[in-house]
């Protein structure tokens, strides 16, 4: 396990930004420390695939000058930021973890998410690893190799935001961008012992000059070490953009305030298998113990043995394979990760009617979830069904509980609730009804703040 003893771990991004804004610490010193930590720790987990130290220090020094002259610096002043290699960031090449984009032009504009974070004062220090085209629940690809879990280097950090999760969990940076089209925030967050949150579709805009890649599935987001840090960042990045057809209005109240005012749910549903997924008994027991603790807080627990009548993986695969084929176009799939290439090639025979049928199936899947919410305010389930798989030994049973809630566009989060026998974190997934983001975040925060001894 990578040591957790550096100053970057001790300071939250909230504290870092406050110190930089008040002139008690320079952005340059913060960024220099992050760069040194990356150099020291990255070889162990392969979270970063590109770092631009000179540009990061130059940007930090420019921010320090604004502080010195009482200029605007933003609520995240001086916070080192890692950017997932699916997101454009000025000065970096976006490769999507793919050799097909290895020679892509250097980005001359930031994505909406990166632009908002930089406007808030963040300093980009580098790019984080992702499976090719962000298409798997583990982070490995033929160009950059595998990202290793900071808690056990023989295991995956999860995917597709595994590089971002490993970068944050190992203390290299306090903040990284992420995205979730089938669990790609929640899976690596759970695997690495972090809180992770997939907002409702459209909360964080994903527009810009190009059409959204997985238009009806993917939500943008970030990874942090605590829920309070997550809320601070969400207040900066949530809100509509006219180039995203799906984007939702600005919330009436800042989320830091809304979550603080949100009461605990009256009842939660506990569904360890969702009706179709085999779950490791120890993981199920650890999550059940965390759920039982909520009963002691006055929350009624409702057992829901089955939420869905079947595993919706076929619907998800139909949509994702088609989205991937659109991205790849006429490029040679022989250059690709064979697993991802197989998904791309499988879509060659998909008809327009089959795509419409998949969209229709999302409606029916959501009806089943709506029916579950007639009995509870929030739905709880293990985030991962099994421990993260060993590097190079694919066993995707561990990621079977996340993708249904991309099909339903639901807000969903994960929060660490324990450590298993293998020494790996265990996460509890919290799912809300349509647009109930604040309720999900409030319960995540409550669980984080009331952890028992022995929990992460």
Give the separation between CA 150 and CA 148, rounded to whole angstroms.
6
Catalytic-labelled residue, pool 26, 98, 164, 184: 184
Q: With beta carbons less than 8 A apart as the criterion, state whether 85 and 95 touch.
A: yes
Residue 327 among the catalytic residues: no
Give the separation between CA 26 and CA 19, rounded to whole angstroms.
8
Compute the Cα dihedral for 448, 436, 177, 427 and give only its sign. positive
CB burial string 114-129: b at 16+ within 10 A, e below: bbbbbebbbbbbbbbb
Residue 84 among the catalytic residues: yes
Give the separation between CA 76 and CA 231, rounded to whole angstroms.
12
Residue 26 among the catalytic residues: no
Catalytic-labelled residue, pool 26, 160, 190, 321: 160
Helix/strand/coil percent split, the chain, to 5 = 40, 15, 45
Q: β-strand 123-128 against 175-180: which pairing, if any?
A: unpaired
Identify whether 157 is preceded by a cis peptide bond (ω within 30 of 0).
no
Give the separation between CA 143 and CA 423, rounded to whole angstroms.
29
Q: How many CB atoms lie within 10 A of CB 370?
A: 12
CB burial string 252-289: b at 16+ within 10 A, e below: eebbeebbeebeebeebbbbbbbbbbebbeebbbbbbe
Give the separation between CA 27 and CA 415, rounded to whole angstroms.
30
Side by side, which strands form the sheet with 175-180?
A: 48-51, 123-128, 80-84, 175-180, 219-223, 196-198, 412-419, 425-431, 378-382, 267-270, 300-303
Which residues are known to be catalytic? 84, 160, 184
């Amino acid at each position: 396990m990578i040591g957790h003893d550096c100053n970057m771990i001790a300071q939250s991004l909230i504290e870092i930004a406050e110190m930089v804004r008040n002139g008690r610490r320079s952005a340059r010193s913060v960024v220099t420390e992050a760069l040194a930590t990356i150099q020291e720790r990255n070889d162990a987990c392969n979270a970063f695939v590109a770092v631009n130290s000179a540009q990061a220090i130059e940007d930090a020094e420019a921010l320090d000058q604004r502080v010195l002259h009482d200029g605007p610096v933003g609520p995240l002043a001086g916070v080192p930021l890692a950017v997932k290699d699916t997101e454009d960031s000025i000065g970096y090449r976006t490769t999507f973890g793919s050799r097909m984009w290895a020679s892509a032009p250097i980005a001359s504009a930031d994505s909406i998410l990166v632009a908002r974070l930089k406007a808030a004062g963040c300093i980009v220090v580098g790019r984080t690893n992702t499976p090719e085209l962000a298409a798997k629940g583990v982070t490995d690809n033929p160009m950059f190799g595998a990202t290793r879990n900071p808690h056990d280097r023989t295991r995956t950090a999860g995917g597709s935001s595994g590089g971002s999760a490993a970068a944050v969990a190992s203390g290299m940076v306090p903040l990284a961008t992420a995205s979730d089209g089938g669990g790609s925030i929640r899976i690596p967050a759970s695997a690495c012992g972090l809180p992770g949150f997939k907002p409702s579709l459209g909360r964080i805009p994903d527009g810009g000059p190009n059409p959204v890649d997985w238009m009806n599935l993917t939500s943008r987001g970030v990874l942090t070490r605590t829920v309070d840090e997550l809320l601070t960042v969400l207040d900066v990045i949530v809100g509509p953009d006219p180039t995203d057809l799906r984007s939702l209005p600005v919330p009436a109240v800042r989320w830091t305030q809304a979550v603080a005012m949100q009461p605990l749910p009256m009842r939660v549903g506990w569904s360890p298998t969702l009706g179709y997924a085999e779950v490791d008994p120890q993981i199920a027991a650890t999550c059940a113990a965390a759920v039982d603790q909520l009963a002691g807080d006055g929350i009624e627990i409702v057992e829901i043995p089955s939420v869905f009548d079947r595993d919706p993986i076929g619907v998800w695969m139909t949509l994702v394979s088609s989205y991937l084929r659109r991205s790849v176009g006429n490029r040679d799939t022989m250059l690709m990760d064979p697993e991802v290439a197989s998904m791309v090639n499988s879509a060659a025979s998909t008809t327009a009617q089959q795509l419409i049928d998949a969209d229709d199936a999302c409606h029916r899947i959501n009806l089943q979830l709506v029916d579950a919410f007639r009995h509870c305010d929030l739905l709880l389930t293990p985030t991962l069904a099994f421990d993260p798989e060993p590097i190079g030994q694919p066993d995707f049973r561990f990621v079977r509980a996340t993708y249904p809630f991309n099909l339903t566009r639901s807000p969903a989060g994960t929060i660490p609730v324990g450590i298993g026998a293998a020494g790996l974190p265990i996460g509890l997934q919290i799912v809300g009804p349509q647009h109930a983001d604040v309720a999900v975040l409030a319960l995540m925060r409550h669980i984080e703040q009331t952890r028992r001894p022995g929990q992460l």
